[in-house]
Amino acid sequence: GTNEDAMRGAVRVCLARTLNRAPGEREFELGTSRTSTGGKYVSLNLNLMVMDEIERNEIFASLAGHPEIRIVI
């Protein structure tokens, strides 16, 4: 994405929506992974223990569908 703060907020919203709880109720790490050479784009790295494949896919879909997040890998 282009705005790190907005992306961090988007991740928290997606996790809260997908996990049906407040973002702080489940431990996760969210750090800056890389910034593009021109400084226009930033990537974040999310580390979160998922319970199963279904939960992982739901989180992935939620993140991929958020307008602040450009790509989910």
Given a cut of 70, whether residue 24 has pLDDT beyond it is: no
pTM of structure: 0.85
| Nearest residue to 62 via CA among 27, 23, 5 | 23
Reported as a single tens digit per residue, the pLDDT across 41-53 is: 999 999 999 989 9
Give the pLDDT of residue 22. Answer: 59
Q: Is 3 left (phi over 0), alpha (psi -120 to 50) or beta?
A: beta
Number of H helices, E strands in the chain: 2, 2
Assigned token pair, 35: 């910034």
Burial tier of 59 (Cβ tally within 10 Å: 0-12, 13-18, 19+): buried
Given a cut of 90, whether residue 1 has pLDDT beyond it is: no
